[in-house]
Amino acid sequence: MGFENVEHELHKRRSSRNIGVGLTLVAFIAIVFGLTMVKITSGGLEATISNATQGEG
Amino acid sequence: MTDASFDTSANNNTHPGEAQFGDYFALLKPRVMSLVVFTALVGLIAAPVSVHPFIAFCAVLFIAVGGGASGALNMWWDADIDAVMKRTTSRPIPSGKVEPREAMALGLALSGFAVIMLGLASNWIAAGLLAFTIFFYAVIYTMWLKRWTPQNIVIGGAAGAFPPMIGWAVATGGVSVESVLMFMLIFMWTPPHFWALALFMKSDYKEAGVPMLTVTHGRKVTRAHILVYTILLAPLAIGTGLTSIGGPIYMTTAVVLNAMFLWGAVKIWRRPEEAAEADKYRVEKSFFGLSLLYLFLHFGAILAEAALRPYGLGGW
């Protein structure tokens, strides 16, 4: 017994929309990752953490 | 801001009425977004504070998404007008590809997304300016002024004038004389640009119930308005050249272009409607073409001054 992978007509019809949304999400992940890396390496994050710790002390 | 149409002919092999990715993208008015990207980038690069290239890229992207979101909200609200006017009947909502509530949802979601992401990527002053721009275009212009006053273009033009100011705020974290002057340059340029188009584009604004100046006050008054705004624009454009974003390249560009623009506006003002009809609005069309070049070259010159500054060539 197995499941047959039948492609519904709807899948074909919406393929361009689904591919577009998928690529947009991948691009968004890449942007957030890139922004995080830049913020960490340029020292912006360190300054924020340092200020926060000084405030606690 | 000029409205954009988007060719969805690539989707002709799909189910009729089925929205494709391109239809949702068309809601964002890609042509308007290209102007937003260019002017925001110039504002960002001309600022005296340098920004990491990736942050700059992301900031411009989020500004463009915010501009696009306001375009989607505009298409949602104006769906009834778009269905009446020939130029806009092929837009995603009147053509039946996208549901009005889908456009509203997309506009609201992308507005929130763009503002928050810009705040996280750069600073909250820039994000606040972007939020105000979206509000101004979607609520003040689209929902209120557009159907109420023939001065809709004048006040609504402010929405298209904010991007360089946002770009500047991304870099500096604030607003200054230079960024206000870049705003004013686009703000004062919009009326003559749009009214020149309204003179030769026989549009169906009347049927759609939109009070364009050409319809409410006639073409003679519109011609006089073009001249007045062009006269007010010239000292602003040339005065910008005396600030820190100006320099010899900008000043030469501004003096030449404003002389040409003023001469074009005088010719439009002096022309009787019969003469314009006889030569199929040759002068008005050429003035409109010049207006596109006018804005592009002014901002291009600001960009050139900023790009040459590290080599000791740009600026005064």
Q: What is the pLDDT of residues A12-50, one digit of tens each?
A: 777 888 899 999 999 999 999 999 999 999 876 666 566
pLDDT value of position A57: 47
The Cα–Cα gap between B139 and B128 comes to: 16
pLDDT tops 70 at residue B117: yes
Q: Which pair of structure tokens corresponds to residue A43?
A: 């020292």
Which of A20, A34, A42 is the closest to B21 by Cβ? Answer: A20
Which of B13, B21, B52 is the best substitution to test chain A (most A C-beta atoms within 10 A)?
A: B21
All residues of chain A having their beta carbon less than 8 Å from the beta carbon of residue B18 are: 13-14
Nearest to B62 by CA among B52, B54, B50, B74: B54
The pLDDT of B284-307, averaged and rounded, is: 96
Determine what percent of chain B is predicted with pLDDT higher than 70: 95
pLDDT value of position B209: 81
B18 or B183, greater pLDDT: B183
Which of B18, B21, B58 is the closest to A13 by Cβ? Answer: B18
pLDDT value of position B1: 46
Q: What are the residue ranges spanned by the domains of chain B?
A: 19-174, 176-316
HSE (side-chain half, CA atoms, 13 Å) at B187: 17
ipTM of the complex: 0.77
Which CATH architecture is the domain B19-174 placed in?
Orthogonal Bundle (1.10)
The angle, 0 to 180 degrees and rounded to 10, between the axes of the packed helices B218-240 and B177-200 is: 150
pLDDT value of position A30: 97
Which phi-psi region, left, alpha or beta, contains residue B312 (left: φ > 0; alpha: ψ -120 to 50)? left
Residue pLDDT, tens place only, B135-181: 999 999 999 998 899 888 888 889 999 999 999 999 999 999 999 99
Average pLDDT, chain A: 79
- pTM for this prediction: 0.87
Please identify which residue in the block is written with the tokens 């890449």: A30
Instruction: Give the highest mean pLDDT range of A45-49, A51-55, B194-198.
Output: B194-198
B10: confidence class by pLDDT, cuts 50, 70, 90: very low
Residues with Cβ within 8 Å of B189's Cβ and at least 6 positions away in sequence, in order, are B157, B233, B291, B294, B295
Find the angle CA(B86)-CA(B87)-CA(B90) to the nearest 5 degrees. 85
Strands annotated E in B193-260 = none
Which chain B residue shows the shortest CA-CA distance from A37?
Answer: B54
Average pLDDT, chain B: 91
pLDDT tops 60 at residue B231: yes
pLDDT value of position B85: 86
Residue pLDDT, tens place only, B253-268: 999 999 999 999 999 9
pLDDT value of position B137: 94
Which of A17, A25, A26, A38 is the best substitution to test chain B (most B C-beta atoms within 10 A)?
A: A17
pLDDT value of position A4: 66
Count A/B contacts: CB-CB distance under 8 Å. 33
